[in-house]
Amino acid sequence: MILLDTHVWLWFVSNPELLSNKARKAVDSAILKEKIFISSISAWEVALLVYNQRLRLTLDVADWIAKSEMLPYFQFIPVDNAIAIKSVNLPKPLHSDPADRIIIATAISLGASLLTKDEKILNYPHVKTVW
């Protein structure tokens, strides 16, 4: 079971060659089991990147996300109260980016490995990561 960090979701859909070999194998395996999780906070991050003109998509952001939602192997995980609280109470040391904290808390709550290239997350010992 895997959870994609926001950039990994973007890369998988738009530029899969940017994934490491290990990440690509994890995604391929998870596709067969239809068990790829994405935090809903990642949809917020993508929309914010588009709004701030730091990301350009070939579709309207709502349509782009809707197409991802239609893929049978993706399951979006809402940010519920338990995940929100867990994100605040993660063991230190961890940087303060709230979206990253929610993504980490989601992975921990699911018992999933987090696919990320983010060095800060890769070096965080309290979540299983793959890159």
Backbone dihedral angles phi then psi of residue 117, each to the nearest 5 degrees: -105, -5
What is this structure's pTM? 0.95
Backbone dihedral angles phi then psi of residue 124, each to the nearest 5 degrees: -85, 115
47-76 confidence digits (pLDDT tens)? 999 999 999 999 999 999 999 999 999 999
8-58 confidence digits (pLDDT tens)? 999 999 999 999 999 999 999 999 998 999 999 999 999 999 999 999 999
The H-or-E segment that residue 39 falls in is: strand 36-39
The answer to whether 5 touches 103, Cβ cutoff 8 Å, is yes
What's the CATH code, domain 2-130? 3.40.50.1010
Range list of H helices, the chain: 6-14, 21-33, 40-51, 61-70, 81-88, 98-110, 119-122
Region of 111 on the Ramachandran plot (φ > 0 left; ψ -120 to 50 alpha; else beta)? left
